[in-house]
Structure 1
């Protein structure tokens, strides 16, 4: 009877962690033995993923299973909720993996990349652990996983020497979706401008080249940034977060109504899209219907088809930044 009770506790523990549990967690929390874990595998309750890592059988497919397993393996003795209470939960998912989780750009994420503050070696295949400095402001939760923020992700990709074309697609999506501001991107790109052939610390020039390379009109970028800033300012005043799409449309309408610069920028963008002259567009008055169309246009701009390719098995290695 005691064995059945411990098995039930292991199942409950795994369920709280997205269906995955380590043998060290199970032993620490439920006092289950290695032999009992083996019997749970033999009876079909658990599936063995790797040495010391198990998954509940017959669970719905987890599209982030590889990322979840890799993150758990960084600290297999601590349960998830304890780690997430820490300023830095023994490393976070980063670089290309973070870009994929945020749905930014069109990078191939064929390995799981993480960043930890100390050297950690994992025996898992297709996992890379970078070493770097992290703070609580550098990560956020995405589908229950700790992931570097969009701004930190851009900085990590630039530091890693990601080719400018792919970096541009990440920056484009982050900006047009309002996940970062222009100022934030300039700040994180500045230290790496010289490495990409720009003047030292010229983050603004670096960003302008990336935006041009990504094919985003600067007028649309200006409007997207206005939307983001208006949305951020308006949120605390209401106390209730409205639907994201409604908030964006309302903020865009407000920006276009109150700002002649934003209205002119929007008109120039429409003129370019419709093949009309800039002069004709600048004389056109914006109305709410136009603003809604602009939001639809901005939504279309942010789609990049960033479906991830199948992962290939690679040896795990630790990379020092």
Structure 2
């Protein structure tokens, strides 16, 4: 094959995976490492990381190194077939938080989850052995990434500090509209690590610590402040729990909740308790 033909082959294969190709994939196409070295030396290919190259049409972006690292976790299968494999590799934990824009965690290594045990000599990769259900996988810029809610749970499982978890939870609610109920469910197994009595208390404590307000609208902000006062004043009172669920649920849906409406919800709760 001549260089033009080789480059066309690489371009065609890499077109479905950000213009990147691994040396193993190139080998399967009949292109050996000597060809890759020559084309790199002539400026036709760019080496992104060990064993991964960018073709001239590659789409350079903020996640290119993560994309290259993900490609490097498999020997030669095309990117579009990865999640259909028996042991798919999914971007997770701090790397997933970075992709979703959750908090301000800095990933020292690219983190992935897979049900199979994986080892690597590359120091900037870390694998977590766990199964990620299809419902917990979302696609971002062509990468399979743990969902926002799953990412929150994974980070809590790693017992990240309260300050960082607070900003992660805030961004999950504010930017991705994840419900507080879903977050409470994800955080429930990790209550002991954060000294919380129940998961709803933990979610609201984290949001309060991060200075979260559901909206810049002063009406909603006042409602949130009202709920926070109720939470801290009546946390030991089980009667307020359902009221808080109703109120926060309304705000999560984008409904404006004025203090008057909050008071109405409280009265409705009291009437229900009285009737029963």
Q: Corresponding residue for 1:264? A: 259
Deviation of 1:141 (Å): 0.7
Q: Corresponding residue for 1:22? A: 22
In the TM superposition, 1:144-183 aligns within 5 A as 144-183=142-181
Structure 2 SS opposite 1:16: coil
Q: Deviations over 1:259-316 (max 9, x none)?
A: xxx23379x9xxxxxxxxx9xxxxxxxxxxxxxxxxxxxxxxxxxxxxxxxxxxxxxx
1: distance between equivalents of 2:172 and 2:49? 35
Q: TM-score normalized by structure 1?
A: 0.66
1: distance between equivalents of 2:140 and 2:259? 36
2: distance between equivalents of 1:160 and 1:132? 13
Q: Deviations over 1:146-181 (max 9, x none)?
A: 111010000000000100111011101111224311
Q: Corresponding residue for 2:7? A: 7
1: distance between equivalents of 2:126 and 2:259? 47
User: Cα 1:51–1:169, aligned 2, differ >3 Å: closer, same or farther?
Assistant: closer
Runs of 4+ with >6 A deviation? 221-224
Does the aligned pair in 2 maintain the 1:176–1:225 contact within 8 Å?
Answer: no
For structure 2, list consecutive stretches of 5 or more residues without a partner in the other structure: 215-222, 228-245, 264-276
User: Cα 1:206–1:110, aligned 2, differ >3 Å: closer, same or farther?
Assistant: same
Q: Corresponding residue for 1:313? A: none
Q: Corresponding residue for 1:208? A: 204
Q: 1:38 aligned to 2:37?
A: yes
For structure 1, list consecutive stretches of 5 or more residues without a partner in the other structure: 230-251, 257-261, 269-277, 279-321
Deviation of 1:198 (Å): 2.1
Deviation of 1:89 (Å): 6.7
User: Cα 1:16–1:265, aligned 2, differ >3 Å: closer, same or farther?
Assistant: farther
Q: Deviations over 1:90-138 (max 9, x none)?
A: 2111111111111111212232111111121223232221111211011
2: distance between equivalents of 1:178 and 1:44? 41
Structure 2 SS opposite 1:21: strand
Q: Corresponding residue for 2:97? A: 99
Mean alpha-carbon deviation: is it higher for 86-95 or for 136-145? 86-95
Higher RCO (CA < 8 A, seq sep 6+)? 1
